[in-house]
Amino acid sequence: MKPLREKFCEFMQLRNLAEKTQESYLQSVVKLSKYYNESPELLDQEKIFQYILHLQNDKNQKFSSCNVALSAFKCFYNQFLNDGTLVLKVPIRKCPKKIPIVYSQEEVQRIIQCTTQPKYRVIFMTAYGAGLRLKELVNLKIKDIDSQRMTLFVENSKGKKDRYTLLPKSLLVELRQYYQLFQPQKWLFHGCQPGQQLSVDTISRTFRAAKKKAGLSKEGGIHTLRHCFATHLLEAGTDIRTVQHLLGLRRFTINDGSSVTLFEGAEVFG
């Protein structure tokens, strides 16, 4: 499959798919090929459907994982090969809707207070105070902080979109203290060396340890702080379209389980 793999990778790059999407799609097609021990262009629609059922019923994979595989196959067969011999027409299956886990403001404060390392304490405050994804945190640069307009610039986020989000006054104070202590050069939250990006795995592990120390039994990793940012803003009376804009989302599930298609601001913590 090597020449075919290379051409498929080039095709996805030309389509400007996100790097993680390219990796997921490629792995899905490779696993399909290995399952049947055949080159993927030789497989028919029935075999592909049976493989999806195998993932769902035998491997007990989540609907979301099966949908990623199905999207990969549609990209490979419908768009990349596109020779008229095989066109997958099965629709994406609907995933069960789950209400996001949210911590109370007191629980968020407990997690932050139980974080003894200054760098990670400020990281968690930034995740909560600005509603950032984990990848957005590690990609923050010093130049992204606008203390005049009280905003954070989020560059090339999910979907290759830029946006501005809140910079609460209390967070700005913490970031200035952090800067004096760590003197970052390029990345705001650097790794062992000032010019090195911080590992997302390290942040996740530190968050789990702080949550355990805080005595929280609720599920959820650091991404939950993003949910908390949105929910607490809504509870404080912020307009839902403002929240959607700050999150960089087209749709936003509120804590009663409903979904809405979602500017000023509100300070989330003090």
CATH topology of domain 2-81: DNA polymerase; domain 1 (1.10.150)
Domain boundaries, the chain: 2-81, 105-261
In terms of pLDDT, which residue wins out, 2 or 103? 103
E strands, the chain, where? 145-146, 151-154, 163-166, 251-253, 259-261
pLDDT at 239 > cutoff 90: no
Q: What average pLDDT does the structure give for the chain?
A: 86
Can 2-81 and 105-261 be said to share one CATH topology? no
pLDDT tens for each residue of 82-108: 876 676 776 666 666 677 889 999 999
pLDDT of residue 93: 63
Distance CA 145, CA 67 (A): 37
Q: Is this structure's pTM higher than 0.75? A: no
> What is 105-261's CATH number?
1.10.443.10
Q: Which single residue is written with the structure tokens 């008229």?
A: 84
Work out the percent of the chain whose per-residue pLDDT is above 90.
Answer: 57
Residues 6+ apart with CB under 8 A from 270: 168, 170
